[in-house]
Amino acid sequence: MLQQSAKRMGHAAIVLVIVAIITFTLMRLIPGDPVLIMLGGEYSPEVYAKLKTQLGFDRSVVYQFFVWAQNLVGGDLGYSYIAHERVSKILSDTIPVTIQLSICSLIVAILIGIPAGVLSALGRNSWLDYLGMSFAIFGQSLPSFWLGILLIWIFGVQLSLFPTMGYISIREEFWKGLYHMVLPSITLGSFYAGMIARITRSSLIDVLDQDYIKMARAKGVRKRVVVSRHAMRNVLIPITTITGLQLGMLLAGAVMTETVFQLPGMGRLVATSILNREYQVVQACILIIAIMFIGVNLVVDLLYTLLNPKMRRA
Amino acid sequence: MHEEGYKKRLADLLAMDFNRRAFLKGVALTGFSVVGGSVFGTDFVRPSPAMAQAAAKRGGTLRVAWLSSVDFLDPHYTAVTAGVQMCGNIYNGLLKITYDGKRVEFKPDLAETWEMPNDRTHVFHLHKGVKFHDGSECDASVIKWNLERVKAKESASPHAWKLALLDNIEVLDKHTVRLNYSKPYAFFPVAMNGTTGRAGTVVSRQAVEKFGKAIARNPVGTGPFKFVEWVENDRIVIARFPDYFEKGLPYLDRVEAKLMTEASSAVAAIITGEIDGLTTIPFQFAKQLRANPKINVYTQVGGNYLFLGMNCAKPPFNDLKLRQAVSFCIDRKAVIDQLLFGEGIPAHGPISPPMSDFFEPDWSKGNNGQYFDLDKAKALMRESKYPNGVECDYVAAATYTGELAGAQRNAEILQGMLAKIGVKANIKPFERAAYRKTLIDGNFNLFDYYWAFDLDPDETIYPELHSGESWNWGKWNNPEFDKLVEDARVTLDVKKRKEYYGKANRLVADQAPYAVIAHVNEFKVFGKHVKNFNPIPAELVNLGDVWIDKG
C-alpha cells in the first residue's frame, strides 16, 4: 500500500512539472503583450520600456522560468501586477468559491443523473426512457451560459423565485449560501447530469443482463433489492470514474457559469488573467487545478478499492 | 487684460451648451432629476445643496453594477472609463466638472478660488483643513508634489502629456499654489479636473510613500468616499468619509460596485431590485429598461465618435480618393439602427455636440463633411487607383456584450457596406491584447474604434490624428492639420479656437483618415428610489450627492 502511494506521488510530481513547463511556455507563445495591456489606451514608447523593465520581462524566458520555479518551491506563488496583490491571497479568495460551486453542481448532477438513468434503464424503451434520455441530451447540448441566462430570466426575474446573482459562502451563511447556489448549480450541473444519466442507463442495462442478476431474480429476490444491492454496486464503478474526471473539468470549466452569475471563482479568474496576460496568476491557477485534479483521481482510486473487492490487494 | 477677463474667457471657452431638443430627438428621456431643457440661455435651475439636503435621507448602501473592468484606482495611471468613474468618488482635483442639465463648466473643487493673473499663470487658493482618508493634510505642498509625480519621467504616467507645457509650480503659502505655463494652454481645465483629467487629481503623498505603486489597489484621496476593499473580479466597496470637506456629504453610507462583465445578468438584477444602478448598458436593453416603471435611464449624446479608421501609411488606403470613397459609402443611419439600436446621431466630422463652442449644428447635417452618398462613393472609386475594387484586412477584437470599440459586430456591418463599392474587407478577429498590439504595430488596413468621454476637441482629435502621436494608429500625416490643432491648443481666444477647429474638422472630413460614423448615446441607469443622480456627459458616475429613498 505504501509503495503504491509513493509511486503515485512520484507520478503526480512528474505530471505537475510537465504541466508547469507547458503552461509557462504556452502563455508566452500567445501573441499579445502584458505590458501593453496594463497600459491600456494610454500607451507611449517611454512608458512601455519603463514598465517592461520593472516587470522583469526583458530577461530571457528560461531565466524567468527558473526564478518562478524557485519561488514556487519556496511557497511563493507569485505576484499579480495588475491586482497589486500576492497570487496566494487572490487564490485564497477564489478557490473556496469554485470548490463550493463544483461540489454543489456535482451533487445536483448526481441527484438528477443517477435516478434519471436508473428509471430510464428500468423502463427501457418506454416513455420514461425517452423522457429521461431527452432531458439528458438536452442537458448536454445546451451551452451553459445560455442555460444560465435562461434560468435567471425565468426563475429570477419573471417568477422571482431565486436570486439572479452573487455568491455567499456556505461556511458563513449556510441556507442563504445554498439559496444562491441553486441556479448556478443547475446550470453547471446539467451537462454532467445528462452525462451521468446516460452512463448510468447503459451500465445498468449491461449489468441487468448479467447471469448473476438473472440468478438472483430466479432465486426470488425482489427486483428493487436486486437493483439496489446487486446491480448498483457495479454500475457505480464506471460512474465514479467519470465523475472523478468530470470534477476536474468542473473546476476548470466553470467560466461561463461564474460570469453569468457573478461568482468570483477560479474559472473567471483564469479567463480574465489570460486575457490580461497575467502570467503568474494563470500559471499558479493551472497548477492548482492540476493538483486538485490529481487529488480527486487519487480519491476515485481509493473509492474503487472500496467498491470493487477485486481491486483490493491483500 | 485684467485677470477676471482671462478666467472668464477660459471658463466660457470650455463651458458647453446642450441643446437637448435638437440632439435628443426621438430618444425618450425619463426621469431627469435636474430641470434644464426648458430653460434656455438663462440662469439654470438646480436644487441647491440646501434644498437637496432638506429632502435628502442619509444612510443606506448603494449597489451598482460596474459594467466594464477597472484597471487601477491610481488616477495618475488609470486609463479606462470604469477606473475614472470609480476614482471620481474617491479623489478630488483642483477643478471639477459640473453640469446643470444645460451647461458643462469647470469649477474649483479642492481650490476655493481660481485666478489667472495672465494667460499663462493659474493661482489656486485651497480650502483650509482638507484631509485625506488617512488623516494627512492636503495643502499646497501636496498639490505640488502630485503634479510633479505626474510629470516625472520616472513615474511613466500616461497623463504626463497634459502637463507638458507646465513649467513650474510655486508654493506661495500653505494654502496657495501657483502654476506657471510656458504658453497659454486651452486644455488646462480639462487636464486639471479631478475625474477625466487625472493629471490634476490629488492623491495622498503619505499613502504613496507607504504603498508605492500598490496605491492602485489601496487608493487614498480626499473624496466623499473612502476605499474599503477590492475583491478581485467581484466587487469594490467604498464607504462614507466622515471628514469630507464638503460638509453634509455624502448621504450614502456605502457603495458596493459589483464588477460584472455580463450585461444581461446585470439587467436582470436591476429589474429584480438586487442592484440599484448600472454604469452603462448595451444599446439593445435601453428600450426595455426605459419601459420599466421602476427605473430611470439617463440618456444623452456623449462627447464621442465612432469611426472606421484607415491605415494611411501603406496601400491601399494611402490613396486619398479611395479613402474618400469609403467615407461616402457608409450608410450612417443604417449603422445607427443596426449596431446602436437607434441610440445615436450621424457624425459628419469628429467634433461632437457636447463640445458646443466648436460643434456646428448647421454644418453637421445634410451634405456637409462626410455623409452617405453611394453614387458619389462609386464615382470616387472610379477616380481612385482601384477602380475595379480592392481587397484588404479589417482587424476586429473579441469583446464583451456592449463594448463598442473594435467589436466584430461593427466589422460585419461595415463589411457589407464596403463591398458595395468594391472594397473587399477580410475580417481578422483578435482577442483584446493581440488587437491592441496589431493597431500599435500598424499591421492592418482597416479598423474601427470609438473615442469617448471627451469634452474638448483637443482631446478628441489631437492625440488621435496629429502626426507622430501615440494614438494615431493609422499614421495620418497632414502638416496643415498639425498646425491647426497645435495653434488651437495654445490660444485662449474662443473665436480663434473655433476657427482653427472648424478648419481641422473640415480637413479631417475631406482627407478622410477616418470615416466618422456616429455620435453615440451614453446611458446611466438607476432605480427610481435613487435620488439626485446628476449625469455628467463624460461617462461620470459621481455618487457624492446621491441618496436613497427607501420610503
User: Beta-carbon neighbour count of residue B318 at 10 Å?
Assistant: 15
Q: List the one residue out of B283, B357, B299 whose CA is nearest residue B535.
A: B299
pLDDT band at A43 (very low <50, low <70, confident <90, very high): low
Q: What single string gives the DSSP state of each residue in A15-63? A: HHHHHHHHHHHHHHHSSS-HHHHHHTT---HHHHHHHHHHHTTTS-HHH
Cβ A21 vs Cβ A72: under 8 Å:
no
Structure letter (DSSP) for residue B472? -
Contacts of A260 in chain B (CB under 8 A): 262, 264-265
pLDDT of residue B347: 94
Cβ B328 vs Cβ B379: under 8 Å:
no
Distance CA A58, CA B148 (A): 28
Average pLDDT over residues B120-127: 93
3-class DSSP state of A115:
helix
User: What would the grid cell of residue B411 be?
Assistant: 466589422
pLDDT band at B1 (very low <50, low <70, confident <90, very high): very low
pLDDT tens figures, B432-454: 778 888 898 899 999 999 988 78
Contacts of A160 in chain B (CB under 8 A): 272
Helix H or strand E segment including B191: helix B188-192
Work out the burial of residue B414: count CB atoms within 10 Å of its CB; fewer than 13 is exposed, 13-18 middle, 19 or more buried: buried
Residue of B nearest to A45 (CA): B470
pLDDT of residue A312: 63
Residue of A nearest to B431 (CA): A275
Q: Which residues contact A154 (CB under 8 A, 6 or more apart)?
A: none
Across chain B, what does the average pLDDT equal? Answer: 85
Interface test with B, best of A28, A144, A165 (most B CBs within 10 A): A165
| List of E strands, B260-358 | 277-278, 295-301, 305-310, 344-346
pLDDT tens figures, B356-393: 788 898 898 889 999 999 999 999 999 999 999 999 99
Number of H helices, E strands in chain A: 14, 2
User: What would the grid cell of residue B180 be?
Assistant: 506657471
Q: Which residues contact B18 (CB under 8 A, 6 or more apart)?
A: B36, B101, B102, B103, B104, B300, B353, B354, B356, B537
Question: Is B470 within 8 Å of A260 when comparing Cβ atoms?
Answer: no
pLDDT tens figures, A187-237: 999 988 999 999 999 999 988 888 888 888 888 888 788 777 778 888 888
User: Beta-carbon neighbour count of residue A4 at 10 Å?
Assistant: 10
Distance CA B320, CA B378 (A): 14
Structure letter (DSSP) for residue A133? H
pLDDT tens figures, B421-433: 999 999 999 887 7
Average pLDDT over residues B497-517: 94
Distance of CA B490 to the CA centre of its chain: 21
Distance from CA of B541 to the nearest CA of A (A): 20
Least confident of A98-107, A224-233, A286-295, B235-244: A224-233
Among the partner-chain residues B268, B269, B434, the one whose CB lies closest to the CB of A31 is B434
pLDDT band at B403 (very low <50, low <70, confident <90, very high): confident
Average pLDDT over residues A111-136: 90
Structure letter (DSSP) for residue B171? E
> B156: left (phi > 0), else alpha (psi -120 to 50), else beta?
left
Average pLDDT over residues B41-47: 29
Average pLDDT over residues B327-340: 94
Per-residue pLDDT at B41 exceeds 50 = no
pLDDT of residue A1: 63
Q: Which of A160-169, A236-245, B30-39, B505-514 has the highest mean pLDDT?
A: B505-514
pLDDT of residue B7: 57
C-alpha distances in Å from residue A92, one per residue of A47, A95, B231: 33, 6, 11
pLDDT of residue B43: 27
pLDDT of residue A108: 92
Average pLDDT over residues B393-420: 85
CB pairs under 8 A between A and B: 125
pLDDT of residue A10: 85
Per-residue pLDDT at A41 exceeds 60 = no
Helix H or strand E segment including B92: strand B92-93
pLDDT of residue B19: 31
Residue A95: half-sphere exposure toward Cβ, Cα within 13 Å: 15
Cβ A113 vs Cβ A226: under 8 Å:
no
Helix H or strand E segment including B238: strand B235-240
3-class DSSP state of B57:
coil
> B181: left (phi > 0), else alpha (psi -120 to 50), else beta?
beta
Per-residue pLDDT at B25 exceeds 70 = no
pLDDT of residue A50: 77
Across chain A, what does the average pLDDT equal? Answer: 84
Using N-to-C axis directions, what is the helix angle for A174-208 and A144-151, rounded to 10°?
A: 130
ipTM exceeds 0.90: no
Per-residue pLDDT at A154 exceeds 60 = yes
